[in-house]
Structure 1
Amino acid sequence: MTKLAFVCQWFPPEPIEIPRNIALSLGSCGHEVSVLTGVPNYPTGRVAEGHRALELRMEEIDGLPVRRTPLYPSHDSGALGRIANYVSWAVSSALFGQRMLRAAEATLVYSSPATAALPAMVARRLWGTPYVLLIQDVWPDSVLSSGFIPGAMGRVVHRIIDAFVRRAYAWSDHVAVISPGMVDLLTARGVPREKLSVVHNWVPEEDQAGAATCAGDTHISLADRVGASADDRLFLYAGNHGRAQALDGVVRAFLDDRTAPAQLVLVGDGVTKKQLVKLAGNHPRVHFLAPVDRAEAGRLLEDADVSVVALADEPLFAVTMPSKVQSGLASARPMLVVARGDAASVVIEADAGAAAPPGDIDAIVEAVRTLLAATPDELTAMGSRGRDLYRSSMARAVGAARLSDLLDSAAQRRGSRGGHTAPTHPERKRS
């Protein structure tokens, strides 16, 4: 059993499931896991009831000891509030989390935001505690790609963040990423290839498995909600309606008569929803439903014929693996992926659906027509191949075992070095 610290800025009661699942899964692998996190304030930017922004607190969540340190609560669209949120927690956790990190044999850093690495980096310097980074978003790309901080200030912030993440990579024992494209990207940026591993995020499988059996009498089927007939084929998108998803191209494809009788159902909300509703008008094959909780979304996915994933045509998104890919694969649903890069490749290579470049309406129409032309048995076979891929390379048992091995190896190397040793500085060889 290895004594592990898990560093993540966000943790329940915040609605962020991936960190919770990782911590519990490592515990199930036999490790003793403690969590270092912040005061809950995501996604509203308001401190959760029963907490204070400046509190230091030890508590227990799902049997895990959790250490909370102060932060500036914010989830503003503006840069200053968001930066203050990230930096304040990075500093406070680096100051007040060292007792936990010193006692750990190894640390896993959930690297979103990238500033979450700071407490582990300090512990590496002070106590020799090795850490493994689990990269969810590649910084500085993800924080600056949308013009979050424009102009000269953005260029300055880019240089600062780039220097920080390069140091974080260099001092880490290993770097795990959630998609193959991230391996290529970080290798090109000087991270040794042997220091990189792919560990896909997984879905909360207990909810996924129970989606069809827990509906009870209150569940209204997707077909009944939109008035679809038995001859219609239901394509479901469930998630954020934002600029990053570029859903306008998907909607335009379903407005095209060539995609009849396919029905597009979009569940959720976001900054572009009003524009999408206006674009669709009263078209009988495009439907918008209000947001639902995760369990209900799983039940609606069971009702659908095809699961839809969409991402904008941005270089960063080509190395992004949105959780909707895993959800669709795990649910044994064939997939329509309107994206470039990893999200499309994994589905095409598994022959688990169809894909098209974002913004190319004709290509999206043809992908929809491919799925319309498939027989029910062929759709079932696509879904089965996707589920087999998920189980073999993305499931919780696979991902947790990979992380467990990486952390065990880090802890063993620490022991072979004889305890508290300061890291070398390989990043000095790079520009």
Structure 2
Amino acid sequence: MKVLIVSQYFYPENFKVNDIAFDFKKKGYDVTVLTGKPNYPSGKFAEGYSFFKKKYEEIDGVKVYRTPLFPRLNGSGKYLALNYLSFLFFSFFTIHFRLKGNYDVVFSHHPSPLTSALPAIWCAKKFNAPYINWVLDLWPDSVSANSNIKGGFIYNNLKKVVSYIYKNSDLILVSSKMFKTSILQNFDIKPSKVAYFPNWAEDVFINKNNLEDNNITLPEGFNVMFAGNLGESQDFESVLKAASLTKQYNINWILVGDGRKSDWIKQQIKEDNLERVHMLGRHALKTMPSFFKKADAMLVSLKDEPTFALTVPAKVQAYMASKKIILGMLNGEGKDLINESESGIAVNAGDFQSLANSVIKISNLPEEKIYQIEGNSFNYYLNNFSKDLLFDKLEAYLKNTTNG
């Protein structure tokens, strides 16, 4: 089977689409990827790439066509818009003048923006192939949650674009069960066109025989670690309030990552004298298991926005695969998942008082209870989110859609 994957992001950027491309190539599929020039998350082109360099390459047998785009730079709204729009614009020419041959199925991957599904639709029409659209971010709701766009001309036109994308998808895969409910409520889509396909943890969190320590040291005490994007969506205002409430306890808050909120967090740490909040910066994915191993519990948080209640952050699967206790401050499906799996404690989004109380409670648990919760976390992952399990489902989706 010849599979064409369309994604604005691809290796050396760290996204789940990498696993899909390389694993399906190992299974014997002929895999081609249409993507952009790598610039996430730094905002600068990765080493060896530029606007003009490396239009085509082969990586572990996967054929990669790279379309020019403008980098994200500092990630501000105007640069993100330019980044997204330039991928659309230049992809049109890549598709019509550089992509040759034929494909059995087109698959696309969309953490954000969903508008990057448009090149996948163009490919599906050009090659007369079925199109599978994996949605990890609900548009236009997520745009509204992260900006001042709450309605009006821009919002309504974005919704029209999203409706066009869904109607031109032969199958829509969603990373959250609540995504399906939302899509069916807001768009004229048949239920049979939408299927649940969640995230999984990268291999580094499962195969930990050679952990890269890199002299990682954490402060003495009970260490709660957040790993990932330090952005607006994660509600660090409430996280730091929780940290302030645990000042008198031997509890540390460790932030591993970078993002648009980093400078603000540094300033708040200084202004509020939060000596037990430590920012360790961004590190390579391959080092994350070593950080996780030294943490006592892992934190996931999202703002109190309706669209965020529909999602399960991908870090939850990584935490579970690493046999970690999870502390959550979020609503909806993510909160329910943590509590129902008994992998930790999740409280309502923005409830920093309850989060602080939960951290204190977990820090005082006996060792045997800690082991039990860690076991719950890992076993739930194996039974619901393991990559082998999910990729068998994805392979079936590809074959069924092609035969259909």
TM-score by length of 2: 0.89
Indicate the residue corresponding to 1:139 in structure 2.
139
1:258 shift after superposition: 8.9
Indicate the residue corresponding to 1:9 in structure 2.
8
The 5-angstrom pairing of residues 24-423 of structure 1 reads 24-54=22-52, 57-75=55-73, 77-98=75-96, 100=99, 103-111=102-110, 112-147=112-147, 150=149, 155-190=152-187, 191-205=189-203, 207-211=204-208, 213-215=210-212, 218-222=214-218, 226=219, 228=220, 232-256=221-245, 260-270=249-259, 271=261, 272-278=264-270, 280-283=272-275, 285-413=276-404
1:70 shift after superposition: 2.5
Specify the structure having the higher radius of gyration (Cα): 1
Greater shift, 131-140 or 55-64, is seen at 55-64
* Aligned-CA RMSD value: 2.5
Deviations 1:258-280 (A, max 9, x none): 98333322233342322341355
Change (3 A) 1:142 1:155: same
Amino acid aligned to 1:281: N
1:328 shift after superposition: 0.8
Q: Secondary structure at the match of 1:60?
A: strand
Change (3 A) 1:122 1:269: closer
1:210 shift after superposition: 4.4
Greater shift, 349-358 or 55-64, is seen at 55-64
Deviations 1:217-241 (A, max 9, x none): x43343xxx1x1xxx4322122233
1:101 shift after superposition: 7.5
User: In the aligned structure 2, how far is the partner of 1:219 from the partner of 1:258?
Assistant: 26
Q: Secondary structure at the match of 1:200?
A: coil
Q: Secondary structure at the match of 2:40?
A: coil
Deviations 1:254-310 (A, max 9, x none): 332598333322233342322341355154x43333333223332121111211111
Q: Secondary structure at the match of 1:67?
A: strand
1:133 shift after superposition: 0.4
Q: 1:101, 1:129 within 8 Å by CA — same for their partners in 2?
A: no
Change (3 A) 1:197 1:280: farther
Change (3 A) 1:163 1:393: same
Q: Gapped runs of 5+ residues in structure 2? A: none
1:56 shift after superposition: 7.6
Deviations 1:13-56 (A, max 9, x none): 3x233221121122234322110112233334444444442568
Change (3 A) 1:316 1:282: closer
1:170 shift after superposition: 1.1
User: In the aligned structure 2, how far is the partner of 1:55 from the partner of 1:177?
Assistant: 34
Amino acid aligned to 1:278: K
1:172 shift after superposition: 0.9
User: In the aligned structure 2, how far is the partner of 1:344 from the partner of 1:121?
Assistant: 34
TM-score by length of 1: 0.84
Q: 1:201, 1:323 within 8 Å by CA — same for their partners in 2?
A: yes
User: In the aligned structure 2, how far is the partner of 1:39 from the partner of 1:291?
Assistant: 21
User: What percent identity do the matched residue pairs reach?
Assistant: 28
User: In the aligned structure 2, how far is the partner of 1:247 from the partner of 1:78?
Assistant: 18
Deviations 1:295-335 (A, max 9, x none): 33321211112111111111121122222211110011111
Amino acid aligned to 2:387: R
User: In the aligned structure 1, how far is the partner of 2:2 from the partner of 2:241?
Assistant: 52
User: In the aligned structure 2, how far is the partner of 1:321 from the partner of 1:352?
Assistant: 14
Higher helix share: 1
Q: Secondary structure at the match of 2:158?
A: helix
Q: 1:277, 1:288 within 8 Å by CA — same for their partners in 2?
A: no
Q: Gapped runs of 5+ residues in structure 1? A: 414-431
Q: Secondary structure at the match of 1:65?
A: strand
Hey, which bits of structure 1, 4+ residues long, moved more than 6 A? none
Greater shift, 184-193 or 72-81, is seen at 72-81
